[in-house]
Amino acid sequence: MKEIFGSHKAGTAVHARSVVLILLGWISAIMSVFIYPFIFGFLGVLSGVLASKYESSAGLPLVVASIVLMSVGLMFGSTILSYTMQIFNYVW
């Protein structure tokens, strides 16, 4: 039975890897709204695809959100960034 399903440690490692991928993917997706939408959006999509490969159900929503947030970043990125910098009184 152990040979068919693998050990418990292997399952934990896959789960931890998918959690890290999902976390990095969401951070990248949010960053794509503000700076470098192509780069961070692609990293979010890639993280979602890899998380789906490890049988995580959170991979597909991450892919969709990364594409949507990347699109918003491409259309309104400079406006959103300047508004955010104005709120926090950051001088570029």
Mean pLDDT value of segment 57-76? 92
- pLDDT higher than 90, residue 65: yes
CA-to-CA dists, residue 82 to 14, 58, 88, angstroms: 40, 31, 10
What is the extent of the structural domain holding 41?
A: 2-87
- C-alpha closest to that of 48 among 32, 67, 62: 62
Is 92 within a domain? no
Number of domains in the chain: 1
Mean pLDDT value of segment 21-34? 93
Question: How far is the C-alpha of 68 from the C-alpha of 32, rounded, in Å?
Answer: 10
Q: Are residues 25 and 66 in contact, defined by beta-carbon separation less than 8 angstroms?
A: yes
**What does the radius of gyration of the chain's CA atoms come to, in whole angstroms?**
17
User: What confidence tier does 9 reach under pLDDT thresholds 50, 70, 90?
Assistant: low
- Greater pLDDT, 6 or 28: 28
Is 41 within a domain? yes
User: What confidence tier does 45 reach under pLDDT thresholds 50, 70, 90?
Assistant: very high
Mean pLDDT value of segment 4-32? 77
- pLDDT higher than 60, residue 79: yes
- pLDDT higher than 90, residue 54: no
Question: How far is the C-alpha of 26 from the C-alpha of 62, rounded, in Å?
Answer: 7
